[in-house]
Each structure stands twice: as C-alpha cells, then as structure tokens.
Amino acid sequence: LFTFNMPGQSITQLMGVSVPAAVVKIQGTRLMEKGPLLITHWGMSGPAILKTSAWGARLLHEMNYKFIAHINWLGLSETELREMLGQIQTDHPKKKIKNQMPLGLTQRLWEHFLTTLGIDEDKPWAELSKKSLNRLVEKLGNDQYPVNGKTTFKEEFVTAGGVKLGEVNFNTMESRVVEGLFFAGEVLDIDGITGGFNFQAAWTTGYIAGKHCLA
C-alpha cells in the first residue's frame, strides 16, 4: 500500500482537502477503485488511492511508478454530472458560480477547479457558457494527474510478496519445508487492501507462531 507522488502539481496546495467517493483509474490499465480520496502535500492518498496501489502493486512496479491517474471527483457518470450542473443552473441562476458548488466538494477544491479552468468565479450560474460547462464536466469526471513515484518518504504501509502460503502450516505457522522454522506478519505473502487487515494478520500469525514455537 502506497500513496501517489505528484511533484509540481498545483493540487498539492490543497493538502488536507478530501472527497468522500472518488473513482481512481490508471491510464492504460484496468485498475479502478472507488472511495474517499485525500489530497496531501506530496500528491494523493486515502482509501481510493491505497486500494488502487494494493491491487496494482506489481503492475505499477513494472511501470516504475510513472503513470497517469484519472480522477472522477464525485464518482458520477458524464450524464449524471451534466444533469447535476444543469440543475444548479436552473435552481440558482443568479448565484455566483463559486458560491453554489456540486455536493461532495469543498469550497477550496471547487474554487481551485474554477481557477484552473479559467472560469470567472464571480459570474452568476446563468452566464456559464456551454464551453465552460463542458470543461467542468471533464474536470469533475476525468481529471488527470501525472504520478511520478510513491510517497516522498519512500515508505509503504504494506508490502506484497514473501514466503509462499502453501509452504506454511497455518495451524502452527511452522514451515512445511524447514522443521522448527516459524513465520509471521509481513514475511508472509499476505497483503490486504487496508492497514487494518494487515495489522490483524500480523497480530494473529505472530500469536500462533509464538505459541507453537515455544511448545
């Protein structure tokens, strides 16, 4: 499990901002995950990112951790996004664009999008052009960011690989290959999609191994 490093991207200025249900896709692959997403000072994190890194660990390693991440900030289809923005225009034609944002976005993130797209945030929704509407739909549903590496600290939460599970007796955690050798935790080829599962695996296998190696 690792976060995405996005050096030089202005989005990192919004560190601490999160969205509840983003969809993350990796360009050129079938990797796609949905969940909360957190913007950090080095890039992006949160369950949506961590799950993507977990399922794509080996593939992203082969790509040398350099790829394009596509972010759907609200997890909605293009049709749903158009309907939502169109409804805002209909219901709040006189409100400033910056003051009436789509549900699920923070004020800071919404204003960042408007600035990035060059949309006058003080204009009323009624004056939003069709071209600007199309750009907003693209930004919200298919935002793209180049990723260059994992966290800036080069630390992963969990690592894939390890001792093959078929070579371990899970009743005792003893090796089926070398008598008297016991395994536990990260040394085993186990990696869950979130930290909690991995903590539990480490605690449980450690307890079993400790109990039986002293028997």
Q: Do residues 101 and 107 lie in contact, with contact meaning Cβ atoms separated by under 8 Å?
A: yes
Which has the closest alpha carbon to 70: 40, 49, 101, 42? 49
Residue-level pLDDT at 128: 96
Distance of alpha carbon 78 from alpha carbon 212, whole angstroms: 56
The yes-or-no answer to whether 4-74+143-148 and 78-140 have a common fold is no
φ/ψ of 101, rounded to 5, equals -105, 160
User: 4-74+143-148: which CATH architecture?
Assistant: Beta Barrel (2.40)
pLDDT score of 186? 86
Q: Which amino acid is at 153?
A: F
- The CATH code that applies to domain 78-140 is 1.10.8.50
24-44 pLDDT tens trace = 999 999 999 999 999 999 999
Residue 62 confidence (pLDDT) = 95
Parse the chain into domains and list their residue ranges.
4-74+143-148, 78-140, 165-213
Place of tokens 């909605």: 76
Tell me which amino acid residue 136 is.
L
Tens digit of each residue's pLDDT (9 = 90 or more) over 148-196: 998 756 565 677 789 999 999 999 999 999 999 999 998 999 877 766 7
Nearest-angstrom CA–CA distance, 168 and 184? 10
Helix ranges (DSSP H) in the chain: 47-55, 57-62, 78-91, 107-117, 130-141, 195-213
pLDDT of residue 191: 79
Q: What is the pLDDT of residue 192?
A: 74
Q: Are 56 and 109 in contact (CB under 8 A)?
A: no
Among 138, 148, 108, smallest CA distance to 19 is for: 108
